[in-house]
Structure 1
Amino acid sequence: MESVPSTQTKPQAREDTKKNALIFIAVVAILIGTIFVSLLQLQPPKVVSATGSANEFSAERALSHLKEFAVKPHPLGSIEHDRVRDYLVHSLEEFGLNPEIQKANSLNSVGRWIAGGTVENIVAKIEGTNSTKAIMLVAHYDSVPGSPGAADDGAGVAAILETVRALKEMAPLQNDVIILLTDGEENGLLGAKAFVEGHPWVNDVGLVLNFEARGNEGPSFMFETSDNNSWLVKEFVQGADTPVAHSFLYSLYKQMPNDTDFSVFKEAGLKGLNFAFGDGVSHYHTTSDNFQELSFESLQHHGEYMLHLVTHFGNVDLTQTHEGNQVFFNILGSSMITYSDKLVIPIMLLAVILFAVTVVHGYRLKKLSLLGTLAGFLVFIIGIIGSFAIGSGLWSVLTFIFTDQEWLMGTDKTVGILYFISFSIIIFAFLTILYGLAHKKIKTGSLMMGALFLWLILLAASSFLLQAGSYVFAWPLLFALICVNILIRLDEHSWKSYLVTAGFAIPAFLILSPVIYLFEGLISMQMAGVLMVLVSLLGAMLVSIFTTLKIKFNWVIPSIFLVTGLLVMITNSINLNNMPTAEHPQASDIAYFMDADSNKAYWAARQPLDEYTSNYINENVKKGHTSELFPILNWDVSYTQADLYSMEAPSVTVLSEKVEGARRTIEYQLKTNRNAEELLMESFSTMNVSQLIINGKEVELKQKEFTKESPFEFNYVLGQAEELHVKVTVNAKDSIEWMIADRSYSIPESKGERPSKYSTYGDNSYIMKTIKH
């Protein structure tokens, strides 16, 4: 280990405590100010009133539509769904359009899961003067069974209606504008699938603008593009007034299993952009996703994107073909930086060269050593591991204490952000202690370069594997290396060195703070350990402050961080203990399962039992898994045996069975006998499915071999029909065993009214039976 000069000389012993306290306050103020400025980009635009200019988008005008159709759940096939459909058609007609309904039996295969239903897409067109290709505005008008869907996706639909109104006030655009209000998105992207497979206008589409929501507030974020997005991104930045987009999060999103209608359009080869707001995830798909809780600013942001981008792209040639992708991110509000991904590798090489030059520079001035830099790298790895452990450990303790509020802790924005802030401050206390101890043996320069070496590794990895996200590591690292070269020539205890460190850390905090905030919204505090690793990466920019800045005693600064973090965490926990409330509702659900083979029934709840669900589950309560009750679903539940209600199980009739060579083809008629909304089917035996036809339409199977451990699963929304025809071809020697079930969006008995402090994803009942032959 390298020798570190003693810090206990008489001049340093007489260090001006007041001066260091002021420096500490200044550094903290700079960094907090930077974080505040960086998050300004996440402020959606102000609402334009209904009395505003006729050719402006007004969230208030859009809300007048939302109040008409997003008042009750309107899932695919429901009676309320039909009322919403008719309202939307009538509204488009009032704007002078000629909407049509594309009705189709739509089927979508995703691995071993197949979804289906009869959808009714609403399609209309605003003719252009000399169209090159059409711009297509898309939002889905169906909701999940338990939610009015004001945000998901009523906000997108209402914004389209208001955008159509504004467009009709303007001079005609060159390009056509297609309006597509898809159906059945919540059931497996069925409406989008039907459009690309069966509507003639799909060949006219030059650009798709799709709008979604995963919460009920926050900025509308452009989170996905089609491939070869270089031209699109450049035009997006020019056309949008308040763009919010980070290619790092887009890169991460591509690695996740999430899908929207845009996934179908993208797979079909259409170009486009995907938008969503995602704060307030506790309201997502619940009864509290209503227009009273919706952020008008988020609705305004959706609409401004629509109107500005349609008018921008409406007068450009959409037939152009473009290659290459862009790196893009916000900086200082809605200002964006974009550059070609072809520059990613050169920027990485520049960072490698600058890193090597910095090491040589520091070595020559005896401010660092190669062995010390390696030791500094190991110290930073310890910091990363420790941060992950602290984050995960604190979250585990809190969820153990507040077991009944765990769902609320992971979804409520206010609760989650305050825990995030408290954990982050505690991480800074940990890093201050760690680097204070390490500095007794290792020089500051070595510790800094050791930490930045991990940043260099991350930059190299992202430059090859996650190019669109490489900027997160590239620019903070380049500025940090410049900072180190300056610090090498300064007295590490001088006020100049501290302010230089804080100043050159600004790019890292500007770039990473909004990314971490958005990432926290995406994964929630349930992955607190990962989030604290991201926070600890920012600590690499402040190593010289951690090692040398002291206020009288070494433990004062870490104590300030630790006490502040604990106070925020404790205060937040006290507030949490008084929840749920109507403003901060807790999820509550109850489901009824009936096994028609054994004549047994159960009440089950996924969430902790509350004063409402305890009306159903209060005696002989067991904790287990739905595989014990209903194998199709994958839930951990609390359950108890229930009374049998006079409800008939779905019936299955074998209409025909024919063996030809090595194949056996069986045709079934499935029927619900209680007006249930969905029919479900799962294989219980090993089989090889070579062909599947549902209601006369063949399914494109992406998997054909199924086992009991990896079964065939099928879900079809009946709507107001009662039966379903399924024709399946398997190997002649396959033994056939199916579980057939129906799902109703209601329960057989209501035992009181759920209090307003609880929201729900919807209460459902399931009846199952097995068949063998």
Structure 2
Amino acid sequence: METVTSTETRRPLRDDTKKSALLFNMIVAIIIGAIVISLLQLQSPKVVSSDSATTEFSAERAFSHLKEFAISPHPLGSKEHDRVRDYLVQELETLGLTPEIQKVNSLNLPRTWVAGGTVENIVAKIDGTNSSKAIMLVAHYDSVAGGPGVADDGAGVAAILETVRALKENKPLKNDIIILLTDGEENGLLGAKAFVEEHPWVQNVGLVLNFEARGNEGPAFMFETSDNNGWLVKEFVKAAPTPVSHSFIYNLYKLMPNDTDLSVFKEAGLNGLNFAFGEGVGHYHTTSDNLEELSKESLQHHGEYMISLTKHFGNLDLTEAKKGNQLFFNIFGSFMITYSDQLVIPFMFIVVILFAITMVHGYKRKKLTIRGTLGGLLVNLGGLVGSFLIGLGLWSLLTFLYSEKQWILGTNNTIGTTYLISFSLVVFAFINILYRLTNKKAKVGSMMMGALLTWLILVVVTSILLSDGSYVFTWPLLFALIGVNIWMKLEMDSWKSHLVIVGFSIPAFLILIPVIYLIYMLASMELASVLMVFVALLGSLLIPIFSTLKIKTNWVMPTEFLTVGILFILVNSITIHNMPTSEHQKASDISYFMNEDTNKAYWVARHPLDDYTSNYINEDIKKGNTSEFFPIIKWDVQYAEADHYNMKAPSVTVIKDEVEAGKRTIEYLLKTNRQAEEMILQSVSKLKVSQLLINHKKIELTKKQYSKDEPFLLTYIVGQLGEVNVQVTVDANDSVEWIVADRSYSIPEIKGERPVEYSTYGDNSFAMRTIRE
């Protein structure tokens, strides 16, 4: 580390503590103001009442549909599913359309397994006056088995119905409008797969607008586009009244193991945009995804996108060749910045050149040295690692102390946001202390440029490897470098220099704060360690302030940050003690497993035992993995032995078993003996599968070789039919062994009523047996 020379000797801060305190308060006010402005973009539009003009979209009118069809779980294959299907068909007919039901035995390979079921897509069309290609509005009408699916994806379906009604009241559009309410999305994107493979209208689709939800509130944001999105993004920004979108989030989404119907449409070569709201993730796929919990503002945002984009694209030529990609992000409220990804590398070089100029400028003014800057880089990297560990350590401590309420910690928006703020304050205290200590051994300019060198590395890496997200680092660094050049001309610890530093850090807060919040919203505080690295990056832009501004002593500022942060943590933790409540629910689940091979059955709970699940698991409680007694499922659970309830495992009938040309073809009929909704087939032995037919439909496997550690897996929704035909061709010398199981969306005995302060992903029962050749 460099030695601070006499020319760098700091003039003591003004003895007038009031002026120092005033300056500190001004800086805090500027930062808070920038944060508030940055979050203004994350707002949903106001709800339009049912008394509004008939040409407008009204969330209240859309909500009236939800009250009719999203009142209980309606998964694929259930009787309630059929009622919902019939209601939606009737409503489309009432709106003057001629809907059809596309009934297909659909098979898909979502990831590493085969998913299947007989889906019933609802398809309709509004003819255009002179169509180039069609705009297709998509939402899935099936729900998970555990909840009524009001947000996921009833909100999307209801918004489509209201959008169709409003469109019929407006002037006709040039392009056709296809309405596609997909089925079986929750079971492996089955409806979307059926449409692209077998429906003739797929050839006429020019643009897909898909609507989803991963929570029950918050702004609906456009989080995914098809490739070559340049034209789409430009037109999206023109048309959407209150757009919320960040291409950095899209980059992250591509790295996550999540899919929606749009994934299937993109694979089929269709252009599209994907929309979802995602706050309130604790309600996702649970019983609390209900009418009472849905935000009508989020529903209004869905509809605002639908009607504005449909009307806009409905009069454009959708056949034009679409080339190039755009970066896009909100900056002030609904104001968005977009530019071509072809500019990413040129912008990167501009920043690199400006960094070099700044280094020369600082060196000439004796504000930094090369060696000191490299030392500053190491210090800043240490700060990022320390911040990562702070986030990891605090979150690990909280989840340890509140292990029985970990679900609330990870999914409750109020709790999570408060912890996000408190952790950030602790990190700011840590960064403050770090740079006050290094200030005694190194020039502030060296420390600052070392930190900005970290940013420069991130700019170069993201520009090359993650171009859609490069703006997150490029523009904050560009403005920070301009600010540092001005700062170098000023007295280092003057009020002017501090205001210049905080002023030129504002772009970073405007860009990074929404990104931090959206990452938190998508992944929860489980990513606290990563989120704190972003917070530390923001803090590194304030190094001159952290290093030289003091109120009475050097330790007042970090002490205040740390005190407030810890206070927030303590208050939040006290709040958790009073949970769960009916407003802040806890996850509760119970499942029943029966293994016919061992003649044993178990009650199983994936979440900590509670007042309800203790009715089932209360004696000889064990902790372990379900694979210990039910090899086909791998959950970490608490469990206890249970009665049998005269439950039978699925029956297996061998219809055909033939060997020809070194290949063995076996045809099975798998049938549930207890009206279970889903059938599961998993290989146990080593197999080479050359051909597979499900209900006489062939599916092309991307993988042929299977082993005990990487088995073949099929999940098929048999619904009310209760059976599935499986024909598999393997090598003649393969030893054939399978586990056959069924899953019912109910349990064999209900012991009491689940309290209102608990929600559930649904209670299930499983029965299995092994079959061998």
TM-score (norm 1): 0.99
RMSD: 1.1
> How many Å apart are 1:724 and its aligned residue?
1.0
Tell whether the 8 Å contact from 2:110 to 2:189 is kept in structure 1 after alignment.
Answer: no
Partner of 2:113: 113
One-letter amino acid of the structure 1 residue matched with residue 379 of structure 2? V
Q: Provide the residue aligned with 1:615 in structure 2.
A: 615
Q: Does the CA contact (< 8 Å) of 1:110 and 1:702 recur in 2?
A: no
2-side partners of 1:742 and 1:394: how far apart?
42
Amino acid at match of 1:658: E
1:442-521 equivalent positions in 2, closer than 5 A: 442-521=442-521
1:133 aligns with 2:133: yes
Q: Is the 8 A contact 1:111 1:702 kept in 2?
A: no
Structure 2 SS opposite 1:121: strand
1:515 maps to a residue whose letter is: V
Structure 1 residues 369 and 8, CA, compared in 2 at 3 Å: closer, same or farther? closer
Quick check: 1:343 aligned with 2:340?
A: no
1:706·1:712 contact (CA, 8 Å) conserved in 2? yes
What is the identity, as a one-letter code, of the residue corresponding to 1:279?
E
- How far the C-alpha of 1:13 sits from its partner, in A, is 6.5
Count of aligned residue pairs for this structure pair: 773
Corresponding residue for residue 227 of structure 1: 227
Shift of 1:9: 8.2
Q: Which residue type is aligned with residue 15 of structure 1?
A: D
Work out the CA distance in 2 between the residues paired with 1:7 and 1:602.
Answer: 76
SS of 1:235's equivalent? Answer: helix
Distance in 1 between the 2:10 and 2:733 partners?
91
What residue identity is the alignment partner of 2:239?
G
Work out whether residues 123 and 181 of structure 2, in 8 Å CA contact, stay in contact via their aligned partners in 1: yes
In the aligned structure 2, how far is the partner of 1:436 from the partner of 1:238?
Answer: 47
1:565 is aligned to 2:565:
yes
Corresponding residue for 2:269? Answer: 269
For residue 475 of structure 1, report the CA deviation from its aligned partner: 0.2
Residue 5 of structure 1 deviates from its aligned partner by 4.8
The one-letter code of the counterpart of 1:325 is N
How far has the Cα of 1:15 moved from its partner? 2.7
Q: Does 1:185 align with 2:185?
A: yes
Spell out, residue by residue over 1:104-142, the C-alpha distance to the aligned partner (whole angstroms, 9 max, x if none): 000002343000000000000000000000000000000
Of 5-14 and 704-713, deviating more is: 5-14
- Three-state SS of the structure 2 residue aligned to 1:42 is coil
SS of 2:691's equivalent?
strand
Contact 2:8 2:367 in 1 (8 A): no
Cα distance in 1 for partners of 2:723, 2:186 equals: 21
**Structure 1 Cα separation of the partners of residues 347 and 43 of structure 2:** 31
Q: In structure 2, what is the equivalent of residue 766 of structure 1? A: 766
Distance in 1 (CA, whole Å) between partners of 2:269 and 2:529 is 38
Please state how far the C-alpha of 1:631 moved relative to its aligned partner: 2.0
- Following the alignment from structure 2 to structure 1, what is the Cα–Cα distance between the partners of residues 114 and 184? 13
Question: Partner of 2:627 in structure 1?
Answer: 627
Q: What is the letter of the counterpart of residue 468 of structure 1?
A: D
How far is the alpha carbon of 1:299 from its aligned partner?
0.1
Q: Which residue of 1 aligns with 2:74?
A: 74
Equivalence for 1:217 = 217
Partner of 1:587: 587
User: In the alignment, does 2:151 pair up with 1:123?
Assistant: no
How far is the alpha carbon of 1:3 from its aligned partner? 2.3
Deviation (angstroms), 1:647: 1.4
Q: Describe the SS at the equivalent of 1:278.
A: strand
Work out the CA distance in 2 between the residues paired with 1:682 and 1:597. 15
Compare 286-295 and 519-528 and name the one that shifted more.
519-528
Deviation at 1:14, TM superposition (A): 5.3
User: What CA deviation, in whole Å up to 9, does each residue of 1:392-447 have, x standing for no partner?
Assistant: 00111111111111011001111101001000000000000000000000111000
Cα distance in 2, alignment partners of residues 689 and 2 from structure 1: 66
What is residue 327 of structure 1 aligned with on the other side?
A: 327
Q: Distance in 2 between matches of 1:386 and 1:615?
A: 45
CA distance in 1, matches of 2:330, 2:631: 46
**Structure 1 residues 499, 641: CA separation in 2 closer, same or farther (over 3 Å shift)?**
same
Match of 2:35 in 1: 35
For 2:655 and 2:485, the matched residues in 1 are separated by 81
Shift of 1:7: 11
Question: Offset at 1:629?
Answer: 2.4
> Cα offset for 1:4?
1.8
Identity fraction in percent: 68
Taking the aligned partners of 1:624 and 1:193, their CA distance within structure 2 comes to: 37
1:290 aligns with 2:290: yes
Distance 1:564 1:672 in 2: 59
Q: Quick one: which amino acid aligns to residue 491 of structure 2?
A: D
Deviations 1:199-229 (A, max 9, x none): 0000010000000000000000100000000
Q: Which consecutive unaligned segments of at least 5 residues does structure 2 have?
A: none
Aligned to 1:383: 383
> Quick one: which amino acid aligns to residue 329 of structure 2?
F
Query: Matched residues in 1 for 2:571 and 2:8: separation?
Result: 39
- Whether the 8 Å contact between 2:13 and 2:550 is mirrored in structure 1 is no
> Quick one: which amino acid aligns to residue 633 of structure 1?
I
The answer to whether 1:412 aligns with 2:412 is yes
CA distance in 1 between partners of 2:338 and 2:122 (Å): 36
- CA drift of 1:702 comes to 1.1
Which residue does 1:537 correspond to in 2?
Answer: 537
Contact 2:431 2:540 in 1 (8 A): no
CA–CA distance in 1 between the matches of 2:111 and 2:76?
Answer: 22
Match in the other structure for 2:399: 399
Q: Which moved more, 1:103-112 or 1:707-716?
A: 103-112
Q: Which residue of 2 aligns with 1:311?
A: 311
Matched with 1:691 is 691
Equivalent residue letter for 1:342: Q
- Provide the TM-score with structure 2 as the length reference: 0.99
**Which deviations, in whole Å up to 9, do the C-alpha atoms of 1:718-740 show, x marking residues without a partner?**
11102111000000000011000
> Residues 109 and 700 of structure 1 are in contact (CA less than 8 Å); yes or no, is this contact kept in structure 2?
no
1:96 & 1:13 partners in 2: Cα distance? 76
Partner residue, 1:707: 707
Q: Is this contact kept in 2: 1:594–1:768, CA < 8 A?
A: yes
Q: 1:367 to 1:89 in 2, by over 3 A?
A: same
1:612 partner amino acid: Y
Shift of 1:597: 1.1
Q: Which residue of 1 aligns with 2:743?
A: 743
Q: 1:127-186, CA deviations, whole angstroms, 9 ceiling, x for partnerless residues?
A: 000000000000000000001000000000000000000000011100000000000000
Quote the residue 1:641 is aligned against. Answer: 641
Report the equivalent of 2:84: 84
- Alpha-carbon shift at residue 634 of structure 1 (Å): 2.4
Question: SS where residue 216 of structure 2 aligns?
Answer: coil
Q: State the partner residue of 2:717.
A: 717
Report the 3-state secondary structure (helix = DSSP H, G, I; strand = E; otherwise coil) of the residue aligned with 1:147. coil
Asked if structure 2 preserves the Cα contact closer than 8 Å seen for 1:490 and 1:497, the reply is: yes
Q: Give the 3-state SS of the residue equivalent to 1:251 in structure 2.
A: helix
| Partners of 1:112 and 1:711 within 8 A in 2 | no
Distance, in Å, in 1 between the alignment partners of 2:14 and 2:124 is: 78
Structure 1 residue 648, shift from structure 2 partner: 1.5
Conserved? CA contact 2:101–2:123, under 8 Å: yes
Q: How far apart in 2 are the matches of 1:232 and 1:134?
A: 15
- 1:283 is displaced (CA, Å) by 0.0
